[in-house]
Amino acid sequence: MGREPFRDLMNHVVAFNSLFQEIEEKAKKLEQEKERLSYIEDIFYNSGVAIIITDREGKIKFFSRGAEALTEYKRDEIKNIAMLFAGELDFGRFAEGWEGKTAYIHGRHDKKLVQIFPSKIDGGALIILVPVKENVDIKEVNDLIKNTPFGIYILQGDVIKYANNKMLGVLGYEEKDVVGHPLINFIHPEDTRIFKKGKTAMGLRHHFEIRFVSKNGVRYAEVTSTPVTYMGEEAVLGTFIDTTERKVAEEALYMSERKYRQVVENAVEGIYRITVDGEFLEANNSFLNMFGYGSLEEISEEIENAWNLYPRENEVKKFLQIIRKSGKVRNYEMEGRRKDGKVIVTTQSAVFVREEGDGVIEGIIQDITARKKAEEEAEFYNSLLRHDLGNKNQIILGYLELLSNYDLPEKERLFLGKALDAVRAGTDLIEKIRYLHQASEETGVKVINLEKIVKKVVDGYVMEAEKNGIAIKCECNGKIKVKAGMLVEEVIANLLENSIKHSRATEIKIYPVERDGEAGICIEDNGVGIPDDMKEEIFKKKVKGKESKGSGLGLYLVKKIVEKYEGEVEVKDGDEGGTKFLIYFKKR
């Protein structure tokens, strides 16, 4: 092997040694970069170069793919065993004076003669092995370094004297456009100061991050520069890893986190992260303002446990039980206490995240104190309307009906009839409001026998139907069992009464219907029917026929109750003219 090629090879070897030393130093200083260093280690593992790292006792800690190919051992079976060199080696002096020495290394099947290029690392050694053959082909070694997966360049002064394929690929230029030109031409203007500071002087080695200006845009790189001798003159050997993809990902993550942070901070709702044990991790401004505090630090200092913000211990206990069991909770109401002592009503929706400790609760909170007050007032007036006013209406209706028994002149009897109609309409309206309120208050469903309810309702309307010349035929059986609730009776009564009063039918049929996973009943008459344009509007609030004296809430109430039980109501033309209403509920 000639002297100049050997010197070139040594320069490249120094680059490998420098980069590995840099990795070791970084690992000690920055624990959080372990993942990145692991990535770099993978690059060297796959580089094709035979690289071995040992500890101070000579036991193997790193074994590259190139070393595997050379020895025919796998790294998992060779790790932590003594070095494979034949004969005795003094590891105390191993990195001194051994550059370029030859030795035999044990392979799986035979010994391999290799040239050794070692350096000390953290008490152990980093060793690059080059197989020795008769008439060693230096071009083969140079090609190996030229095509290594990390960038390599050599500077003399400011001029690039050598650039491997990786560097040319990063810059996007051919060799003639790079070699012989100042490196600073390819460095981002804002990073030239970093580069000048990082240039090696007086035998020092530097590690720095810069941006290359390539033919296709900016590329990020982590560079290590080392003083070397090249072609008999002082030079700087630079090695670098292209970190563009990582940087782009980091910037995207930063922007995403920044956008998320802005959304959280500007949200109208309170947003928080609190441990199950009650430690504040995060709270946005709306959360802090809701409880009367100015900062996370202030609320953390004054409130020892975050759950102490909620004075009712049983509410907190139940909240934690639900979220631990199901992993989430929605619209859970809890009373809170502000810094000034004022009690507020809150509603919370949160998820349980299993992190360190007993876990973290991430939630959204709203102050619904004003809404609860408005609801209480509405309930008061609703109760007043349903009970007090309803009772007064019944008294008025009673007196008017007594008055109708007297022999009144035709004009007075006409006025009395209108008064009775108005009072009855008012009573009907109050009843409808009462049922709407019950529908909103009722929770859950149960299995009911639809046939029994239908027969009960029909029995109550038979006489009224007969007065109107209508026959009711009920064809239901005892097998109609569905998931619904107590207000189904009101649904059937509304539909049947509606048909008796407005259909002008002679017959009303009630029979069972079924479809996938659902069952119900159909109420069909042979009357005048409902116009198609009216079918689209009929279930809306306050919609009624021209001749109807009702409130316009009946069919709206029907739809509201049916949907409360996760059912569906439809209106269609009857098979013999007229109209049919179909009601479906989930089967039991």
Interval 423-451: pLDDT, tens: 776 776 667 666 666 666 666 678 888 88
Strand partners, 274: 280, 361
Q: Do domains 150-246 and 267-365 have the same CATH topology?
A: yes
Q: Could you tell me the pTM of the whole model?
A: 0.39
Q: What is the residue-averaged pLDDT of the chain?
A: 80
- When pLDDT is cut at 50, 70 and 90, the band that residue 50 belongs to is confident
Section 416-420 average pLDDT: 81
- Position with higher pLDDT, 117 vs 27: 117
Domain 267-365: homologous superfamily in CATH: PAS domain (3.30.450.20)
The pLDDT score that the predictor gives to residue 249 is 83
* Helix, strand, coil percentages in the chain from 3-state DSSP, rounded to 5: 45, 30, 30
| pLDDT above 70: residue 99 | no
> Per residue in 527-566, pLDDT tens?
998 888 888 788 887 666 655 555 566 788 888 888 888 8
CATH among 3.40.50.300, 1.20.1250.20, 3.30.450.20, 3.40.50.2000 for 150-246: 3.30.450.20
The whole-angstrom separation of Cα 533 and Cα 582 is 18
Q: Under the phi-then-psi rule, with left for phi > 0, alpha for psi from -120 to 50, and beta for the rest, what region is 128?
A: beta
Is 22 in contact with 36 (CB distance < 8 Å)?
A: no
For residue 11, pLDDT over 80 is answered with: no
May I ask the CATH architecture of the domain 3-144? 2-Layer Sandwich (3.30)
323 touches 350 (CB < 8 A):
yes
Going from N- to C-terminal start, the domains of the chain cover 3-144, 150-246, 267-365, 368-441, 442-588
Measured from the Cβ of residue 547, the count of other Cβ atoms closer than 10 Å reads: 7
- What CATH topology corresponds to 442-588? Heat Shock Protein 90 (3.30.565)
Q: What is the pLDDT of residues 508-532, one digit of tens each?
A: 999 999 998 899 999 999 999 888 8
Chain centre distance of CA 516: 34
**For residue 244, pLDDT beyond 60:** yes
Pick the residue with more confidence: 210 or 93? Answer: 210
CA distances from 332 to 310, 315, 457 (A): 13, 9, 38
Angle, alpha carbons 474-480-486 (nearest 5°): 90
